[in-house]
């Protein structure tokens, strides 16, 4: 028995050695965006460059949205290439949890895929914590169907409501459009803790106080890969998640064009349509919320400043869409002038509606 | 093996392990030292007891937050057939049955695979296999036992569902069957090794007696060895059952996260462990909210279930252990 | 019915019985080999996906975001080994101790006997408890310690902490950073620059308005009792055992806000300070005022800070940071390697106990009797006779238990979260670290399909580690058996 096991060990070891030499390089078609990022970021990637500043130490804790996690992770990587002694930990456990950690003083800044809510703001105020609100990228919430699905090419908001809302909850595709097949719809959606879920619900039902359906045809998961696999394996499935997940799985999924309620034109999600704002109402901004006390710490200040200085390359590397330069400038201005608070809530606690450019204005900040 | 050879082995061991400077007499000092040691050993034993006490206290305290809530009726929790905690932010249903039935469905499928296969493999290993076959089969089972459950979960999603199930029937991407098969594979080595232990514990004399009466191997196995080892085999089954009920990563990956109350093995089915993991991963659980307490309420049900099953397994084994000694 | 017919029927029956028996053995073989088929399929499918991604870089590199080609499992391997070691260090002695107590010390005292039986019953039950339940227990008992201690905050010092030294860190005019030990002397004052929520003596709380400079005061006329000029100095006071900063607004209202240890300003320290530079050399740092002329020589700039400039670009703030030793330790353990190791120790404790019990039971009674005959106490018998001959069995059981621990993902997700990488190497028990099973889980769920291959490659490494551990166990068993057979 001993000998047999040893033989198996040796076999595994040699197999890995034999196959280890030729690491596939051809497989990186999808990583063109990665190699296409700006020279500055790539340059600082190489270890041991003379730009390294070893004198700064300390640690930075980042928590929050798993959607924003790749952006912050990338920021960490390029920052650490330059400041190798700053220990940064990024953990993506959901926007709500990030705000919880921010209010408890457990993180230096939190990642968020939606603006802060009044309840969470109250939590921060109670603990005497204030923050800078910094938008970092756009994400286009993408509705996808199975590759074999040839009947759905575009959907209007009304149709989405029929499919996803608890009060309408269409059983079959035929219930949505009589010309579609009489097959059960299966729904794959992000879990209730994610900002993506909240944002989608906001568009399809918030005004009427309606929520996403919760029945046996609906599968909610915090794991976006599960949603991808789910829609992929089910010809009558529909799902939604962040644009970057769709872009990484383009070959296996089909995105649905969404009819823009503004001009009644169906627009497919893409980097260009999200950036231009044509892809409405499902393009949304992503944020980081920086604790103002933490920002006075040298290592946090360096990191956040670096994050914002290189934000375009960082965001592109993580497959998200950068914001207009003016928004970044406004955010940097808020930090430099020490103007904390959220733009999204007025003094009565009502949420301000509108596009990022409309809401993200200095006059919308609390005094 | 005769008694003689056993004694020689004992002597050899004794020579090797009894050191020449072995204390000849126990002094008062060594008695006192022994008292200290005993206290230390009792302290060690306390830890395992404290673990159980800790688990029970934790579950009682935290889940009392769930049951003490005005919205929650414990009867409704135990009998309700709709579960929407973690599924919807709206109207809340909290009947445990969809989760419980998910667990039972997957466990049932797993047992359908693990029990007969495990038992037959054990019989083969114990009664039939030549040394050569054994030397292949045993390490393979050990590898299987060592494979992390995460790995089996992905195996279920990437292999079992698309290649073994979907070609034959209309299975959803995440379904109870593929998770059940994977859990069955996972329990197989456990059933095999425990059942084999039980079979080998049957005294040789019984077998020899039966062979002496002219029985074939099959008859010896089915009519003598199996009945004699029955208590051990049943307790092996029960341990495997507890393991299957408690399995987490496989179901979190392969069974899907929709709580369903049905007998259809083709649809997603969230289990109790699956619910706990999903809620943990979402981390939207803020202490003090109902969905936070619901983790503990579900964990309490899970704990009671597995605890009872292992307890029954133990009682069966203890009650019948003496018979052939 | 003649005798020959009877014999013939018996013969036919015999034949039939033999055929049945034979058929059954074939059936057994077929069913048993399913296990082999399953393992082979699994291994092949894993090797196909991950096999050719394993190389030295993969074994040493760390996780890289959206870059599977350069990602690796260096930290995860170390993390897994460290956590497994912690788990073994705690579980092994406790487990063996419990096993000795159960097997060798059957007490005569009635209560102790009850205890004895309870422990025995309990252990087999614990072995059946799902590992996710242990994960929840670890979260409650080790990470948060039942809420007995305040949780670990980023801008605050933990209540109970050893092995950490606090430094102030400040950026010189030249752009490099210097540090100096945090002492009480630098604590008492604070120049207020960032917005603060403050409370006045009536208990009203509001946000301080920070006026950029004295000349701008007129613009803030209506809010003067809520405003201060930037870089005003706050004083550290203690009220009812609580440390607070106190400051007077321009309007003359006295307000307080909670004192955090995290940062201070140089406003009151205008004499030079001894500091440590990046390469460890010590020198004197010049602290100049905003009224002083700025140095131009880069050498001097690297040794100078401005204490109280209202211009945030020039103002040097000193922020506190923590340097930890390898024995860094605090309560509660929070999400750390130690919490993870202890949780896994609880998971494998029953397995170790059961294995050790079996090993001890396997020691021949004659050995014990020989020792007793020589007048040894019970403990002497155990230590000199039972333990040495049971060691191989115990070790085998322990290694198999540890190989269970190294593959556990669910309890680690609960107590450490899903960490994929940290900047610095694991340096103390209070750090977080990625581990193999969690890395496999996170990678397999990554959007970028390249990580799926990496995940398979990591599985291969994990399997190799498991096989190595198993072969050590088998080797020990084998050697021991050989010795006894001599």
Report pLDDT digits (tens) over C429-444.
888 889 999 888 888 8
Residue C142 has pLDDT above 70, yes or no: yes
Q: How far apart are CA A203 and CA A207, in angstroms?
A: 8
Q: How far is CA C113 from CA B43, C224, C268, in A?
A: 15, 76, 69
For residue C194, list chain A residues with Cβ-Cβ distance below 8 A. 130, 292-293, 295-296, 338, 340
Q: How far apart are CA C164 and CA C323, in angstroms?
A: 6
Q: C301: distance to nearest CA of chain A, Å?
A: 15
Q: How far apart are CA A57 and CA C224, in angstroms?
A: 39
Sheet hosting strand C197-200, strand order edge to edge: C189-192, C232-239, C242-248, C254-258, C197-200, C205-207
CB A88 within 8 A of CB A62: yes
For residue B268, list chain A residues with Cβ-Cβ distance below 8 A. 219
User: Which residues 100-129 of chain C have a CB within 8 Å of chain A?
Assistant: none
For residue B52, list chain C residues with Cβ-Cβ distance below 8 A. 122, 125-126
CB C193 within 8 A of CB C206: no
Nearest CA in chain A to B253: A226
* For residues C299-325, average pLDDT: 73
Nearest CA in chain A to B280: A93
CB C367 within 8 A of CB B10: yes
Residue B35 has pLDDT above 60, yes or no: yes
CB B138 within 8 A of CB A195: no
- Read off φ and ψ for residue B99, nearest 5 degrees: -70, -45
Element (H, E) at C444: helix C436-444
Q: How far apart are CA B91 and CA B78, in angstroms?
A: 18
User: Which residues 209-228 of chain A have a CB within 8 Å of chain C?
Assistant: 223-226, 228
Q: How far is CA C439 from CA B278, C81, C442, in A?
A: 17, 14, 5
CA angle centred on A2, ends A9 and C47, rounded to 5°: 20
pLDDT at A1: 43
Residues in chain B: 325
Of these ranges, A60-64, A290-294, B98-102, B225-229, the one predicted with the greatest mean pLDDT is B98-102
User: Among the listed ranges A214-228, B3-17, C467-481, which one has the minimum average pLDDT value?
Assistant: B3-17
pLDDT at B285: 56
User: Helix (H, G, I), strand (E, B), or coil: what is residue A344?
Assistant: coil
Q: How far apart are CA C377 and CA C385, in angstroms?
A: 11
Is A296 part of the contact surface with chain C (CB cutoff 8 Å)? yes
Q: How confident is the model at residue B282 (pLDDT cuts 50, 70, 90)?
A: low
Q: How far apart are CA C56 and CA C463, in angstroms?
A: 17
Mean pLDDT of chain A, nearest integer: 80
Closest to B298 (Cα-Cα) out of B248, B255, B264, B249: B248
Nearest CA in chain A to B259: A216
Q: How far apart are CA C206 and CA C225, in angstroms?
A: 11
Q: How confident is the model at residue C183 (pLDDT cuts 50, 70, 90)?
A: low
* For residues A82-95, average pLDDT: 84
For residue A15, list chain C residues with Cβ-Cβ distance below 8 A. 47, 51
Q: How far apart are CA A193 and CA A195, in angstroms?
A: 7
For residue B42, list chain C residues with Cβ-Cβ distance below 8 A. 101, 112, 115
For residue C483, list chain B residues with Cβ-Cβ distance below 8 A. 12-13, 16
First to last CA, chain C: 59
Mean pLDDT of chain C, nearest integer: 82
How far from chain centre, in Å, is Cα B167?
Answer: 31
Nearest CA in chain A to B143: A5
| Percentage with pLDDT > 70 across chain C | 89
pLDDT at B44: 92
Count of helices and strands (H, E) across chain A: 17, 13
* For residues C411-419, average pLDDT: 82
pLDDT at A342: 92
User: Nearest Cβ partner of B139 from A5, A97, A212?
Assistant: A5
- CA dihedral of residues C138, C144, C145, C148 (deg, nearest 10): -160
User: Helix (H, G, I), strand (E, B), or coil: what is residue A238?
Assistant: strand
CB distance B88–A166 less than 8 Å? yes
CB distance A28–C450 less than 8 Å? yes
For residue C320, list chain A residues with Cβ-Cβ distance below 8 A. 297
For residue A193, list chain B residues with Cβ-Cβ distance below 8 A. 282-284
Under 8 Å CB-to-CB from C12, ≥6 apart: which residues?
none
Q: How far apart are CA A9 and CA C465, in angstroms?
A: 9
Condensed to tens digits (0 to 9), the pLDDT of residues A196-236 reads 888 888 888 777 778 888 888 888 887 788 888 889 888 89
Closest to C156 (Cα-Cα) out of C263, C287, C7, C54: C263
Q: C337: distance to nearest CA of chain B, Å?
A: 19
CB distance C475–A57 less than 8 Å? no
For residue C440, list chain A residues with Cβ-Cβ distance below 8 A. none
Condensed to tens digits (0 to 9), the pLDDT of residues C92-117 reads 999 999 999 999 888 888 888 899 98
Is C478 part of the contact surface with chain A (CB cutoff 8 Å)? yes
| Contact residues of B toward A, CB < 8 A | 84, 86-90, 134-136, 138-139, 142-143, 157, 161-162, 166, 172-174, 253, 256-258, 260, 262, 267-268, 278, 281-284, 286
Q: B307: distance to nearest CA of chain C, Å?
A: 6
CB C263 within 8 A of CB A297: yes
First to last CA, chain A: 75
* For residues B143-152, average pLDDT: 82
CA angle centred on C163, ends C161 and C165, rounded to 5°: 95
Q: Rounded to 5, what percent of chain A is helix, strand, coil? A: 45, 20, 35
- Read off φ and ψ for residue A54, nearest 5 degrees: -90, -5
CB A310 within 8 A of CB A40: yes
Condensed to tens digits (0 to 9), the pLDDT of residues A247-298 reads 888 888 999 999 988 888 899 998 888 888 788 888 888 999 999 888 888 8
Q: How confident is the model at residue A339 (pLDDT cuts 50, 70, 90)?
A: confident
pLDDT at C466: 87
Nearest CA in chain B to C119: B49
Is A9 part of the contact surface with chain C (CB cutoff 8 Å)? yes
User: Helix (H, G, I), strand (E, B), or coil: what is residue C335?
Assistant: coil
Q: ipTM beyond 0.85?
A: no
Q: What is the largest CA-CA distance in chain A?
A: 76
CB distance B139–A1 less than 8 Å? yes
Condensed to tens digits (0 to 9), the pLDDT of residues A13-25 reads 333 333 333 333 3
Q: Residue A116: how many CB atoms within 10 A of its CB?
A: 25
User: Among the listed ranges B148-157, C120-129, C301-310, C313-322, which one has the minimum average pLDDT value?
Assistant: C313-322
CB A67 within 8 A of CB A195: yes
CB C430 within 8 A of CB C328: yes
Q: H helices within C292-409, ranges in order? A: 298-301, 337-361, 365-373, 378-381, 387-406
User: Nearest Cβ partner of C35 from B40, B140, B245?
Assistant: B140
User: Which residues 132-171 of chain A have a CB within 8 Å of chain C?
Assistant: none
Look at A8 and C402; give whichever has higher pLDDT. C402
| Percentage with pLDDT > 70 across chain A | 86
Q: HEC states along chain B?
A: CCHHHHHHHHHHHHHHHCCCCCCCCCCHHHHHHHHHHHHHHHHHHHHHHHHHHHHHHHHHHHHHHHHCCCCCCHHHHHHCCCECCCCCCCCCCECCHHHHHHHHHHHHHHHHHHHHHHHHHHHHHHHHCCHHHHHHHHHHHHHHHHCCHHHHHHHHHHHHHHHHHCCCCCCCCCCHHHHHHHHHHHHHHHHHHHHHHHHHCCCHHHHHHHHHCCCCHHHHHHHHHHHHHHHHHHHHHHHHHHHHHHCCHHHHHHCCCCCCCCCCCCCCCCCHHHHHHHHHHHCCCCCCCHHHHHHHHHHHHHHHHHHHHHHHHHHHHHHHHHHHC
- Count A/B contacts: CB-CB distance under 8 Å: 92
pTM of the model: 0.81
Q: How confident is the model at residue C314 (pLDDT cuts 50, 70, 90)?
A: low
Q: Residue C418: how many CB atoms within 10 A of its CB?
A: 20
Element (H, E) at C276: strand C273-276
User: Among the listed ranges A320-334, B311-325, C281-295, C341-355, which one has the minimum average pLDDT value?
Assistant: B311-325
């Amino acid at each position: 028995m001993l000998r047999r096991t040893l033989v198996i060990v040796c076999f595994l070891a040699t197999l890995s050695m034999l196959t280890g030499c030729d690491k596939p390089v051809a497989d990186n078609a999808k990583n063109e965006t990665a190699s296409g990022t700006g020279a500055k970021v790539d340059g600082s990637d190489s270890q041991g460059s003379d730009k390294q500043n070893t004198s700064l130490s300390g640690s930075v804790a980042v928590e929050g949205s798993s959607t924003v996690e790749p952006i912050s992770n990338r920021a960490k990587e390029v920052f650490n290439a330059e400041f190798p002694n700053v220990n940064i930990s990024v953990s993506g456990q959901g926007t709500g949890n990030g705000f919880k950690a921010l209010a408890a003083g457990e993180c230096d800044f939190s990642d968020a895929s939606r603006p802060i809510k009044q309840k969470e703001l109250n939590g921060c105020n109670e603990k005497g914590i204030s923050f800078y609100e910094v938008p970092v990228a756009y994400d286009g919430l993408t509705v996808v169907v199975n590759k074999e699905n040839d009947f759905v090419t575009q959907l209007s908001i009304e149709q989405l409501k029929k499919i996803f809302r608890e009060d309408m909850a269409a059983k079959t595709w035929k219930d949505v459009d009589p010309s579609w097949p009489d097959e059960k719809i299966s729904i794959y959606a992000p879990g209730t803790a994610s900002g993506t879920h909240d944002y989608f619900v906001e568009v399809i039902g918030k005004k009427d106080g309606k929520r996403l359906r919760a029945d046996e045809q609906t599968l909610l998961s915090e794991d976006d890969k599960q949603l991808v696999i789910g829609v992929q394996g089910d010809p009558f499935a529909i799902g939604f998640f962040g644009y970057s997940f769709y872009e990484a799985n383009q070959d296996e999924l089909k995105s649905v064009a969404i009819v823009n309620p503004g001009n009644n034109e169906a627009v497919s999600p893409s980097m260009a349509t999200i950036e231009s704002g044509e892809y409405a109402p499902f393009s949304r901004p992503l944020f980081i919320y920086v604790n103002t006390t933490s920002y006075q710490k040298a290592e946090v200040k360096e990191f956040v400043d670096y994050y914002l200085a290189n934000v375009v390359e960082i965001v592109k590397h993580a497959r998200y869409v950068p914001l207009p330069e003016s928004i970044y400038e406004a955010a940097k201005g808020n930090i430099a002038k020490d103007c904390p608070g959220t733009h999204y809530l007025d003094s009565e606690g009502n949420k301000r509606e509108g596009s990022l450019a409309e809401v993200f204005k200095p006059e919308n900040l609390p005094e | 093996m005769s008694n003689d050879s056993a004694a020689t082995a004992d002597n050899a061991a004794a020579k090797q392990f009894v050191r020449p400077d072995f204390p000849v007499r126990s002094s008062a000092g060594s008695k006192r030292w022994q008292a200290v040691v005993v206290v230390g050993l009792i302290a060690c034993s306390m830890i395992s007891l404290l673990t159980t006490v800790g688990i029970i206290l934790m579950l009682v305290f935290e889940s009392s937050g769930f049951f003490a809530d005005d919205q929650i009726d414990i009867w409704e929790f135990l009998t309700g057939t709709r579960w929407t905690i973690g599924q919807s932010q709206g109207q809340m249903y909290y009947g445990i049955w969809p989760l419980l039935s998910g667990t039972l469905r997957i466990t049932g499928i797993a047992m359908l695979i693990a029990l007969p296969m495990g038992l037959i493999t054990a019989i083969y290993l114990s009664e039939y296999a030549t040394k050569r076959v054994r030397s292949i089969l045993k390490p393979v089972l050990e590898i299987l036992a060592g494979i992390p459950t995460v790995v089996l979960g992905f195996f279920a999603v990437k292999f079992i569902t698309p290649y073994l199930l979907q070609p034959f029937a209309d299975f959803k991407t995440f379904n109870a069957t593929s998770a059940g098969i994977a859990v069955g594979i996972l329990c197989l080595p456990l059933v095999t090794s425990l059942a084999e232990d039980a079979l080998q514990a049957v005294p040789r004399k019984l077998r020899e007696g039966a062979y002496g009466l002219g029985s074939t191997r099959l008859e010896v196995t089915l009519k003598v060895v199996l009945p004699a080892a029955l208590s051990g085999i049943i307790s092996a089954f029960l341990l495997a059952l507890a393991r299957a009920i408690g399995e987490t990563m496989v179901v979190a990956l392969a069974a899907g996260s929709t709580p369903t109350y049905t007998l259809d093995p083709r649809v997603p089915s969230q289990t109790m462990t699956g619910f706990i993991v999903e809620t943990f991963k979402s981390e939207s659980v803020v202490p003090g909210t109902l969905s936070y307490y619901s983790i503990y309420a579900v964990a309490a049900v899970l704990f009671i279930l597995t605890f009872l099953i292992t307890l029954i397994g133990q009682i069966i084994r203890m009650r019948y252990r003496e018979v052939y000694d | 019915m003649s005798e020959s017919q009877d014999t013939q029927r018996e013969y036919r029956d015999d034949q039939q019985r033999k055929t049945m028996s034979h058929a059954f053995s074939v059936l057994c073989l077929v069913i048993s080999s399913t296990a082999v088929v399953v393992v082979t399929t699994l291994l092949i499918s894993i090797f196909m996906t991950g096999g050719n991604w394993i190389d030295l870089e993969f074994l040493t590199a760390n996780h890289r975001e959206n870059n599977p080609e350069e990602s690796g499992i260096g930290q995860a391997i170390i993390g897994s080994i460290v956590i497994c070691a912690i788990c073994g260090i705690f579980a092994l002695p406790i487990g063996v101790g419990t096993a000795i107590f159960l097997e060798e010390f059957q007490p005569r005292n009635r209560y102790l006997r009850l205890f004895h039986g309870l422990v025995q019953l309990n252990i087999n039950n614990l072995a059946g408890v799902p590992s996710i339940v242990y994960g929840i227990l670890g979260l409650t008992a080790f990470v948060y310690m039942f809420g007995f201690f305040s949780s670990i905050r980023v801008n605050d010092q933990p209540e109970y902490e050893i092995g950490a030294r606090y430094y102030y860190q400040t950026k010189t005019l030249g752009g490099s950073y210097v540090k100096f030990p945090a002492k009480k002397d630098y604590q008492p004052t604070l120049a207020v620059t960032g917005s603060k929520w403050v409370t006045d003596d009536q208990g009203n709380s509001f946000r301080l308005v920070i006026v950029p400079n004295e000349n701008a005061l007129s613009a803030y006329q209506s809010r003067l009792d809520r405003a201060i000029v930037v870089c005003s100095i706050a004083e550290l006071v203690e009220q009812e055992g609580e440390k607070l900063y106190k400051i007077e607004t321009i309007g003359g209202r006295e307000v307080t806000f909670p004192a955090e240890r995290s940062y201070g300003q140089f406003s009151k320290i205008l004499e030079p300070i001894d500091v440590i530079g990046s390469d460890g050399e010590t020198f004197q740092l010049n602290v100049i005022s905003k009224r002083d002329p700025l140095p131009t020589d880069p050498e001097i700039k690297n040794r100078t800070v401005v204490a109280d400039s209202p211009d945030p670009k020039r103002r040097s703030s000193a922020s506190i940071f923590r340097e930890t030793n390898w024995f860094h330790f605090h309560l509660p353990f929070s999400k750390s390697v130690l919490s993870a190791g202890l949780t896994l120790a609880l998971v494998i404790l029953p397995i170790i106990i059961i294995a050790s019990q079996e090993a001890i039971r396997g020691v021949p009674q004659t050995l014990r009797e020989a020792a007793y005959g020589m007048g040894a106490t019970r403990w002497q018998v155990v230590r000199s006779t039972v333990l040495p001959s049971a060691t191989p069995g115990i070790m085998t059981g322990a290694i198999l238990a540890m190989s269970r621990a190294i593959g556990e993902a669910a309890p680690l997700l609960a107590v450490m979260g899903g960490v994929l990488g940290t900047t610095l190497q694991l340096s103390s028990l209070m750090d977080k670290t990625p581990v193999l099973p969690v890395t496999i889980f996170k990678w397999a769920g990554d959007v970028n399909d390249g990580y799926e291959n990496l995940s398979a490659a990591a599985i291969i490494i994990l399997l190799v580690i498991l096989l190595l551990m198993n072969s050590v166990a088998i080797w020990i068993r084998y050697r021991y058996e050989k010795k006894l057979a001599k």
